[in-house]
Structure 1
Amino acid sequence: MSIQDRSPHPTTLDFQHVNLQSHNTLGLACQASRVVDLVDLDQLPAISQIAQQGQQWIVLGGASNVVLPAQLDRPVLRVALRGIKLIAEEADAWIVEAAAGENWHEFVLHCLQQGWPGLENLALIPGSVGAAPVQNIGAYGVELDTRIESVRAWHVLDGCFVTLSAQACSFAYRDSVFKHSAAGTWVIVSVQFRLPKPWIATTHYPDLARHPFVSNLSSEELNASRVFEAVCQIRQTKLPDPKVLGNVGSFFKNPVVSAERFASLRQAFPDVVAYPQDDGQVKLAAAWLIDRAGWKGQRRGCAGVHDRQALVLINEGGASADDILGLAAAVIASVEDRYGVQLEIEPTVVL
């Protein structure tokens, strides 16, 4: 049975007091006094009832894109729904549904093992399936919105299910309708993916194109599993394992500027790294800006900028949200002073 095939029957909630330090990839100590694990749709009406009383929920998936405070007294919902199902096989696509609590990387691997390619460029991105459309994750030339059929969510205040098409999700670069709604408005319960046939490799991203698993193979030899392996190796080389060193992956978005602004920047900094966009704008490499501003490998107490990837802020043990955000603010100010470009942070800051 698909996770969305039935209506919920109200049940009571079992609150727990939890230290979320081991439940967020930045490794920030966070004492949460009211935590509920969502394992069944029957819990959703009770969640709505609490929200309708004016209490705003914090919804967490893999907690791989959040900055948590030291103390959290608001109710916290950890989405732990499970299930993966092939909904349909059409002439031009596989339609695959996954519950929101599934681990994203394990879902990508499962799809490959079942012969449903198309997500391999998004391998090893931390987090859950339900969190992926919120951020509209993307990597190595593939953006998630190009693979989504629909998102099934519970509207907390209205107390009902809503199915949003990819268009209705208002996807943009690291953005979606879910990020513009008030916190706790939506609980994503499942996502349907459209994985296109025939499979066509996406390997134009420079690091991927240069990888021997890609560059040394003919088009006939290249397959989705090789792209998956290449992406995993690249990410493991560049990015720290959050189980070893606390981080949320890329802490900053790549800024997008007009062609005119880019021309001015390139005149002053001829080696600036950038990527032309289909709409005529230019996406700048935030890592290059941060690195050239002198931040790669820098430390401020227990918070730091990773020495191999300047986009990544790390918690070396004992850092607080204030430490991480203070470092981020210093990086943003430095880049703006040097280049006249303002960086934005990617993770959600929970207050």
Structure 2
Amino acid sequence: MLPLHANFDLLGHNTLGIAAKAQWLAQIRHPDDLVALANQPELADLPRRVLGGGSNLVLAGDLPGLTLKVEIPGRRILGDDEHYVYVAIGGGESWHGTVEWTLQQGLSGLENLSLIPGTVGAAPVQNIGAYGVELKDVLHELTAYHLTDGSARRFSLVDCRFAYRDSVFKQDQAGQWLIGEVVLRLPKRAALHTEYGELARELAALNKPATAIDVATAVCKIRRSKLPDPAQIGNAGSFFKNPLVSQAQYSALLATFPALVGYLQPSGDYKLAAGWLIEQAGWKGRQLGPVGMYARQALVLVNHGGASGAEVMALAAAVQAAVQEKFGVMLEPEPVIWGLASQ
């Protein structure tokens, strides 16, 4: 029988640093642990949630039911073909640790995703991305386990239905699977993505052809200059998604706000910079009680100490209302929100 922890304190398991408790918590270190849980009838009717590193999470209250903490380890090279090397990574491994490990193996492909917090198993849920690269660009397949009976299923790249900060695991398959292993497809010949403005400028200063390690180093430098360390000040990284608007809406906004920051997408829509919208709406560096929008990056919501989930949600709502009023654009939170009274 898999041991359970009752009324488990989650303060140290979410990077926003919010105090909340899980009614029950189980540490999943092997897929068989899910099968063991399925054989405990007293747990059958409890709602279940999967917790990784807690870096993309708002705890709006205590969590009823059973929280499954993913701690499945493992990093190994599976093999290769003419163009790619395939690596398998356990869902409980650190994402940034995995980026560093691939670079140590002489492999490229993940360098733009350096310093993204969280676990490997959580990365496909969000389709993490940064500096022109998303997880969908390097994922080959993954193995997930059903939360009810522990049965395994392989999801191909197509099965994952990736979109901007979205996947099948946030759509119709939400709340059903624990991702135990991810297989990445990394190119044998580095194809570096250095076109992103800040990154391009940082690499240009090297005055030499960039390597994958150079890109990773530059990405880490840029991220550290803009994003607070959760060990120093609680945060969940970028709190809002960059909104997509139609070409007509973009043109109308641009006529009123000539400095509007937007990027044309393949669909013909425009992706707006949420941080710029928040700053223009007057929320950069502004606080509401113990929470606020970071003074060096308006897109990051920070906990200055002792904030509750309700206070985080109140600030998020105030920022959304301000941006909606000024620009007619509704921002959507990027983190997962757990513990609302309606859940």
Q: How does the TM-score come out when normalised to structure 2? A: 0.95
Counterpart residue number, 1:20 = 10
Which whole-Å CA distance do the structure 1 matches of 2:149 and 2:244 have between them? 36
For the 8 Å contact 2:50–2:70, the answer to whether it is kept is yes
CA shift, 1:215, in A, is 4.2
For residues 232 and 33 of structure 2, the distance between their equivalents in structure 1, rounded to whole angstroms, comes to: 34
How far residue 182 of structure 1 moved from its aligned partner, in angstroms, is 5.9
Q: Who is 1:5 aligned against?
A: none
Separation (CA, whole Å) in 2 of partners of 1:172 and 1:64: 20
Using the aligned pairs only, state the percent identity.
Answer: 46
Q: Distance in 2 between matches of 1:73 and 1:260?
A: 45
Q: Which residue of 2 aligns with 1:120?
A: 111
Question: What is the Cα deviation at residue 69 of structure 1?
Answer: 3.6
Identify the residue that residue 25 of structure 2 maps to in structure 1: 35
Q: Aligned letter for 1:228?
A: A
Q: What whole-Å deviation, never above 9, does each CA across 1:107-127 have from its counterpart, x for those lacking one?
A: 000000011111000000010
1:192-240 CA-to-partner distances (Å, cap 9, x unmatched) read 00112311110111111111x344333xx31000000000000000000
Q: How far off its partner does 1:50 sit? A: 6.0
Correspondence for 2:130 among 139, 142, 145: 139
Summarize the alignment of residues 311-350 of structure 1 with structure 2, pairs less than 5 Å apart. Answer: 311-350=299-338
CA RMSD for the aligned pairs? 1.5
Helix, strand or coil: the match of 2:69?
Answer: strand
Look up the match of 2:216: 228
**Contact 2:47 2:64 (C-alpha < 8 Å) held by counterparts:** no
Structure 2 matches for 1:268-287, cutoff 5 A?
A: 268-287=256-275
In 2, Cα distance between the equivalents of 1:281 and 1:183? 27
Tell me how far 1:78 sits from its aligned partner: 0.4
Q: Which amino acid aligns with 2:182?
A: V
Q: Distance in 1 between matches of 2:211 and 2:85?
A: 17
Q: Is the 8 A contact 1:57 1:183 kept in 2?
A: no
Asked if 1:188 corresponds to 2:176, the answer is: no
Q: How many residues matched?
A: 337
1:31·1:72 contact (CA, 8 Å) conserved in 2? yes
In the TM superposition, 1:61-76 aligns within 5 A as: 61-76=52-67
Please list every run of 5 or more consecutive structure 1 residues that lacks an aligned counterpart in the other structure. Answer: 1-11
Aligned to 2:241: 253
Give the Cα separation in 1 of the matches to 2:179 and 2:219: 27
SS in 2 for 1:192: strand
Q: C-alpha separation between the residues in 2 aligned to 1:44 and 1:258?
A: 44
2:73 to 59, 71, 82: 82
Query: How far apart in 2 are the matches of 1:198 and 1:291?
Result: 40
Letter in 2 for 1:101: G
The farther-off stretch of 191-200 and 304-313 is 191-200
The structural deviation recorded for 1:174 is 0.1
Which letter does structure 1 place at the counterpart of 2:16?
L
Q: Is contact 1:255–1:343 with CA below 8 Å preserved after alignment?
A: yes
CA distance in 1, matches of 2:333, 2:61: 20
User: Distance between the aligned counterparts of 1:124 and 1:286, measured in 2?
Assistant: 21
Structure 1 contact 214–227 (Cα < 8 Å) conserved: no
Match of residue 58 from structure 1: 49
